């Protein structure tokens, strides 16, 4: 029994909204800058000059923080636009938005990863793989990208390549339940039934611990199909 069709419908995750890190400005307290009269080695003029320089420093820090916040907002807008287009099924539009994003932020691994997802949904497997590889080049321990690349290989029935990528993802995160599930499916396709069951049961327990009920249900359904299959790995 083959499950090739399930890779795109069940295990490929939709584009998720990025959680932007909050950039917090750290301001030096005026009380730290105050020069006490007692024991001070600075003249009033020297103290005033020092305070003026510190005010200038604080101003630069504020401007830098505002700039960084502006960049994060711009980044968020790009991603939200791509997500919106993706959710509407406009994968070409989402791709165009992500390419603009990457042009603006070429070193952003997440952007390349999301581009890979969009390209895969357009059945452009090799382009998707290239995007995932670029994400990994920029962020070596990118478990999501390794898992996604495995899914692309699995969709092409390249089971050994798929399992290799899933295992790379699991080396980074041994409790990555999605990768465990995908690895199990590839193992089943290559007649490694017992290994597939072990991987699926581990994934099921993790999904339950994470309160991911829908995923847990999907894994339970696959487990049942494998257990009921007289000829595992044969369509």
Q: Is the pLDDT of residue 55 over 90?
A: no
User: Which residue ranges make up each domain of the chain?
Assistant: 19-142
Q: Is the pLDDT of residue 215 over 50?
A: yes
**Length of the chain in terms of residues written:** 235
Q: Give the whole-angstrom CA distance, residue 4 versus residue 1.
A: 10
Q: Is the pLDDT of residue 225 over 80?
A: yes
* CB of 232 closer than 8 Å to CB of 191: yes
Q: Exposed (0-12), middle (13-18) or buried (19+): which is 208, by Cβ within 10 Å? A: middle
* CATH code for residues 19-142: 1.25.40.10
pTM: 0.70
Least confident of 28-42, 134-148, 201-215: 28-42
């Amino acid at each position: 029994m083959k499950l090739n069709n399930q890779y795109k419908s069940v295990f490929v995750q939709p584009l998720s909204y990025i959680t932007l890190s909050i950039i917090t400005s750290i301001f030096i307290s005026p009380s730290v800058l105050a020069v006490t009269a007692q024991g001070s080695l600075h003249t009033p003029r020297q103290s005033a000059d020092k305070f003026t320089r510190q005010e200038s420093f604080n101003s630069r820090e504020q401007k830098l923080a505002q700039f960084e916040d502006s960049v994060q907002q711009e980044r968020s807008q790009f991603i939200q636009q791509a997500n919106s287009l993706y959710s509407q099924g406009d994968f070409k539009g989402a791709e165009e938005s992500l390419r603009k994003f990457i042009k603006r932020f070429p070193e952003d691994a997440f952007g390349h990863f999301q581009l890979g997802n969009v390209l895969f949904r357009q059945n452009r497997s090799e382009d998707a793989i290239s995007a995932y590889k670029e994400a990994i080049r920029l962020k070596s321990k990118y478990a999501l990208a390794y898992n996604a690349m495995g899914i692309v290989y699995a969709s092409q029935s390249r089971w050994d390549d798929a399992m290799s990528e899933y295992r790379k993802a699991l080396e980074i995160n041994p409790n990555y339940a999605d990768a465990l599930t995908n690895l199990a499916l590839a193992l089943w396709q290559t007649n490694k039934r017992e290994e597939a069951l072990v991987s699926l049961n581990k994934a099921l327990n993790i999904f339950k611990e994470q309160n991911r009920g829908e995923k847990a249900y999907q894994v339970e359904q696959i487990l049942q199909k494998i257990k009921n299959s007289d000829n595992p790995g044969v369509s």
